[in-house]
Every structure is written in structure tokens, then in C-alpha cells.
Chains A and B, each alone.
Chain A
Amino acid sequence: MSAHPTTSDVAIDVAGLTKTYGSGRGPGRAARSVRALDGLDLAAAQGSVLGLLGPNGAGKSTTVKILATLSAPDGGTARVAGHDVVREPAAVRRAIGYVAQRPVTDPMGTGRENLVLAGRLQGLRAGEARGRADELLERFGVAHAADRLVKTWSGGMARKLDVAVGLVHRPQVLFLDEPTTGLDPEARAAVWAEIERMAAGDGMTILLTTHYLEEADRLADQVAIVDAGRVVTAGTPDALKDELRGDGVTVDLDDGATAAAAVPVAGRVPGVVDVAADGSVLRARADAGATALPALLAALDAAGIGVRAAGLSRPTLDDVYLRHTGRSLEAAHRAAGTSAGTAGTEATEVAA
């Protein structure tokens, strides 16, 4: 687990959070109670993007709901922008923007009306709210649809509006609960680009939950992998992959006949392990691929073995997930009974 940043820079600080659903009310319910959070710890430095990665039912949405003051934890502490979510909910609410998993806009209002109303409720004056709405409509590329009812908008446009609504009052901390679930790849890329722009901007801290590995990998400065209500590991995406101690090394030999000779040569190179020949391709793993590969190529050259191509493959976050939970993220989705990217994740999150 990564070291906690110093107190003054911490925008999100969570320790030992627990939450059980369906407990303690009536006899039948205790049997069905579900431990959604089981001592979850989390920290995000101000201005960073923290990705919560995990399958449905892992506790991601529950965590976000508690941090956004919607739900009360059973135990543990959580501070957002310096305020305790249980003792100072009003202060937390003024500091945050919250974009739920489900659409947060009113389909019977226009895009502009949604933004202006959200801004006014957040304390902007009428003129400020209108100006801010124009600015966001422009920036998110949906100005052409500003005065159409949101129910006529495409899924990708509506999701961008959701994010814009969360930003209208320039929050210190923005929560994005599965911002791209259910979007087609093109719309997803557009939302990603917006999140990257936001993150690069005004020092806002973003907590996003996702069950897409690429999303966490691309957007998050820090990733926390959540499984069964706990953070099983956390760190930068690169650090998490480095922890696996093993890049994939692939060497394409000129001549398949030299493969048998190449294996012992490669095996003697420091830091290279698990060498195997596969036709004319030599596969191995290396603690630090970037230094091992040149040494390996030099050794092969010295042994007179010709090389056509060579490559390194970094471990993916899926490898990280597999290592820490004992199953692949895809298998976890199947176990949760939903495929990634379908609606109804909300119900699973609570009930699974």
C-alpha cells in the first residue's frame, strides 16, 4: 500500500470504512445482510486522479456514496476536502461534485436548464450560472444541443452533460461513479479526453470508479484495486505493474533451428528467468525488462544467434488484479452476474 500523502495535501482520506446493508431491522433481514465495505482505506492527494478499480459488488459505489454524504458508514472515518463526511456533511456538500452511476440530469429539461439550475442550487447568482452553463456547454462540445430536451440527446452527449453538471460550481473534489459504463468506444474516448483535460486544469481532485482496466490505466494517477469491500492494493498504475516483477520478453530468432541453443544462452543472462522456446520465438520474463533486454540481445549476438525482432510487454492491470485477488477481472464480472457495461450495476452493487 502506498504511503499516505501529508495531511495538508490530502483531499480524500478514508480509514477503516465499514458498511453493511440490510442489517439490524427485523428478523428476516439479518440473514440477507451484505457486508459492502470491510475496512476500506484510501487516500488521494489534492489535484490527483484516484481510480477505484474493481468488479460490480466490490464496494466502489458504496464508497463514493459515503464520501458524497449520501450514505452513512457503520464504522471508520472519511474526510473529504478536510471535512468529516459524518460530522460536517454540509461543508462536504459545498466542496464536492457528484456524478452518479445513473444519469444525473433531468430528461425533461434542456441541457442549459439542467446546468443553470444545478449552478443556482450550488449558490451561483443567476448571471454567473448562465455564463458558466454557456462555458461548459461549449467546452464539452454540446452547445449545439443546449436548448433541446436531454431525453433527445445521445448517451455519450448526455454523459458529458452529467460531468458538466458535476463541475458547474468548480468543486474541489469531483466524484465520477463509472463515468463511461454503457458508452460506445467513441463516446468513451470523448469522455476520457474531457476528464484528462479537467485533471490537468485547476487542481481539482477526481475520484473515479471503473471496472475498465484501460480507463484506470489511462486516467488515474493512483489506482486502488477494490475487492470484497477492501482495497487489496494501491499505487500508481506503473508501480503496481512493477510489483509483479516480470516484464514479458519476446525475441524473434532468424532461424528456428537456433532456438534450442538460444535457451541456455538466455538463461545465463542476469535477471532473465522462465526462458522457453516456442518455434522460432524465445519467451522469457525479466525483473526489469528495459535493462535485461539489451543484455539478452548482446549475449545472443556473442553466441552468434541472429535476431529478427525483440520486444517487451509490460504487465497489465489485469495481471495485477489477478495477482491480488486470485481471479481475473473478467471472471469477477461473471461471478457478479453482470457483464461489464450493462445497466443494473447499481442493484448488483447493493445486493450482490
Chain B
Amino acid sequence: MSTLTTDPTTTLRAPRRTGALTQAALLTGRQARQGMRVPVFMVMNLLQPMIWLLLFGQLFRSVIEIPGFAGGAEVSYLEYLTPGVVMMTAMGGAAWAGTTFVQDMDRGVMDRFLASPTSRGALLSASMAWYALLACAQALVVVGVAWLDGARFPGGVPGVLVMLVAVALLSCLFAALSGAVALLTRQQEALIGVSQLLTIPLMFLSSAVMDPALAPGWIATAARFNPFDWAVVVARDALQGFADPGAVWLHLGLLAAAVAVMGGLASLAFRAYRRAI
């Protein structure tokens, strides 16, 4: 029974190693607490997609009647727009993910993490995970509001679930990009660049608000290489009932590959930060 007795003088065991997954979960919890403590942030995050959805939905409702508009005969413009707004919200939110890194670098928090056994992967995945969770919650609200406004989605629950996978992947992609930019530049201003100069063109070089088939050819070509459009394509096809499952899987695969590449680049950015300090 000697193995069961503990030395009463030992109040604390020698520190074990916390696994990277546990660390990621702990750090995601920290992000969530921070986020929840700024209610304005949460309200703005929900308000913005509503504005997109209701404003664009009204303003452009008749574009669906243009001959040749994809699915124009079966879907309303609101139904066409909803997956686009879901993804705009996800990308727009995750573009700011690097803010936490910038704040942590401004203080000594990042240096403390890096001088501890905390894994860089955990720091990065916590940021990705929190923005993915936030975007999934927002996506459900957007779809719900669209439904209340009369939109119907034949894809049902499986359609919504597949949409959420795409939302999570797109959020992770942009959270990793934003984190990398934060680590490389250490400036909040640089994140404004990501958010304004990158995400807005990506939104319009896609099928989010308009069928690219009706736009100049170069836009349709650009959309094919646009990860944001991959996510929109997945969500739209899933919500409308999986007319083209091949395209859904292909684009999910492309998104996952992009997340892997961007995550790898972002972890390399930690080395650049280390060289700079």
C-alpha cells in the first residue's frame, strides 16, 4: 500500500507537462472570457450581419430576376444572400483575431507565455478556436433571422451543420492569417489593413452577393481561387439541399488545406517575433 501514501510535506507535485490540447482549451477559455466581458463587441458582432442581411436583401432583391442568375427560378435573393452574409461575418470577425496577440505583445503577456512551457500551437489554435465558435454562433443567428424573414433552406439540419464546418474553417484561416500579421508587425494598424484591404475585395470577388457568372469574366476566375468563395459555395449548396455534393467536399478540402498551410505559416511567424525581441 506504500504506493498510495503521499508525502505530507509535498504540497505540490513537480510540475508535469500540460498537453498542447489542454493548453489550447485553457487559452480558448481565456479568449471567451475576454470576449464576453466586452458586451459592445458581442452586440456589434451580431448587429453587423443583420445590417448586411436586411439591407442587401432589400436593396438587391430584384437582381435574382436577371436572366441567368444562378438558381434564380427556385430561390429568393434572401436565400441566395444568407450563406454569403454568414461567411462575410465569419471572415470579418476572424480578421481581427490578431488583436489579442498585439495586446499580449504590448504587455509582457506574450513574452511570459513564450518563456513558459506553453506551446505556440496552443496559442494559435486558441485564437482560431474562439473565432470559429463565435462565427458559428453568429451563423446560426443569421440563418435564424433569414428564416424569420421568409427564407427557407431545403438542406435542413445536415445543411446547417456542413455550413458550420465551412464557417469554422474560414474563421480558422483568417484567424491564422491575422495572427501571423500581428506577430510579424506587432501593430494593430496592420490588422486594419487585413480587415479593410483584404477582406472587402475578397467579399466582392465572390458569389456572396452576386452570381459571378453575370460579372466580368475575370471576377468569375478570381472567385475560383478565393478561399472566401469556397466557403460561400459550400454553405450555399449545403443550405439549398446538396445539389452538387462533389463541389461541397472539394471546397471543404481546399479550405482545410488552406487552414493547414496558413497555420504553418503563422507558427513560423513566432520565430520572426522571437528574432525581433
**Which residues of chain A have a CB within 8 Å of any CB of chain B?**
65, 68-72, 90, 93-94, 96, 98-109, 113, 117-118, 120-124, 128, 132, 149, 162, 165-166, 169-170, 175, 350
Contact = CB atoms under 8 A, between A and B. Distances in A.
A201 to B, nearest CB: 13
B58 interface: no
Nearest to B38: A108
Contacts of A166: 112
- Counting chain B residues whose Cβ lies within 8 A of the other chain, the interface size class is 20 to 34
A169 B117 CA distance: 11
A8 to B, nearest CB: 20
B84 to A, nearest CB: 33
A149 B37 contact: yes
A106 B26 CA distance: 14
A102 B15 contact: no
A132 B277 contact: no
Interface stretch (B16-24, B158-166, B193-201): B16-24
B244 interface: no
Contacts of B17: 94, 123
A307 B248 CA distance: 100
B107 A102 contact: yes
A104 B111 contact: yes
A106 B27 CA distance: 12
A257 B249 CA distance: 105
Given A109-B33, A117-B30, A104 B112 contact: yes
A25 to B, nearest CB: 9
B113 interface: yes
B12 interface: yes
A109 B34 contact: yes
B115 A121 contact: no
Contacts of A149: 37
Nearest to B18: A123
Given A98-B111, A98-B112, A102-B108, A108 B15 contact: no
A96 B33 contact: no
A108 B33 contact: yes
A120 B26 contact: yes
B108 A100 contact: yes
Contacts of B188: none
B40 to A, nearest CB: 13
B101 to A, nearest CB: 13
Given A98-B111, A120-B18, A128-B12, A93 B116 contact: yes
Given A68-B111, A102-B106, A120-B26, 13 more contacts: A71-B274, A94-B15, A94-B117, A98-B116, A100-B111, A107-B107, A113-B33, A117-B27, A121-B117, A122-B18, A128-B12, A166-B112, A169-B15
B108 A101 contact: yes
A248 to B, nearest CB: 41
B30 A123 contact: no
List the 3 closest A-B pairs by CB distance, nearest first: A100-B108, A123-B15, A98-B115
Nearest to B113: A121
B187 interface: no
Contacts of B118: 121
- Chain B CB within 10 Å, residue with most, of A93, A99, A117, A350: A117
A250 to B, nearest CB: 45
Contacts of B106: 102
A165 B112 CA distance: 9
A122 B107 contact: no
A273 B197 CA distance: 75
Given A70-B274, A90-B117, A128-B12, A106 B18 contact: no
A93 B15 contact: no
B274 to A, nearest CB: 7
B54 to A, nearest CB: 32
A170 B113 contact: no
B63 interface: no
B116 A104 contact: no
A124 B37 contact: no
